[in-house]
Amino acid sequence: MNVKNLIDEFSLEVLCCGELAEEKQITGGYCGDLLSWVMSKAKEGDCWLTVMGNVNSVGVAVLADVACILLTENAVFDDDALTRAKQNGVIVLRSKESAFDLGAKIAKLI
C-alpha cells in the first residue's frame, strides 16, 4: 500500500508533501509520542501515528525513514514543523481518530 491509498481509504487531511504520496510505500506501522522510543523502534517505511507535531518529530521522521507522519486526534502541527517537513520532503497527514482506532484499521490493510 502506498501513502496515497492510505489518504484515500481514511479521507485523511494532507498537511505536507502530498505530491510524494503515490511513490511512498507503507510497509508497517508504529504508534508512539516519545521521540527516542520512536527513533529506536520505528522501522523504515512505517506509517507513524503520533500526537507530537513539532519540529523534532519531523527530525525523527527523517532519521527513521518512516513513510509518513500521521497525526491522530487532530493534533496540532506547528509552523516550524511545517517548514522543516517541506524542506525534507516529509509527508504529514492528520485524522480525528485516535491512534488505537486508526492503527487497528491500518494494520488490516498492510
Partner 1 sequence: MSEAIKLHYDVDGRDFTRAGEASGKIKKTLKDIGFPPEIIRNTAIAVYEAEINLVIHAGGGEIDVEIAPDYVEVVLTDHGPGIENVELAMQEGYSTAPDQVRALGFGAGMGLPNIKKYTDEMKIDTVLGKGTVMTLKIYVK
# of chain residues touching partner 1 (CB under 8 A): 22
Binding mask 63-82 for partner 1 (x = CB under 8 A): xxx--------------x--
One residue of 25, 27, 74, 88 binding partner 1 per CB under 8 A: 88
We find the least distance from the C-beta atom of residue 57 to partner 1, in angstroms, to be: 6
Binding-site string for partner 1 from residue 22 to residue 61, where x marks contact by CB under 8 A and - marks none: -----------xxxxx-xx---x-------x-xxxx-xx-
Identify whether the C-beta of residue 3 lies closer than 8 Å to the C-beta of residue 91. Answer: yes
The angle subtended at Cα 64 by Cα 60 and Cα 66, nearest 5°, is: 100
CA distance 108 to 20: 23
Distance CA 2, CA 36 (A): 26
Sequence-ordered list of residues with C-beta below 8 angstroms from that of 87, at least 6 positions apart, any chain: none
Positions that interact with partner 1 (CB under 8 A)? 33-37, 39-40, 44, 52, 54-57, 59-60, 62-65, 80, 84, 88
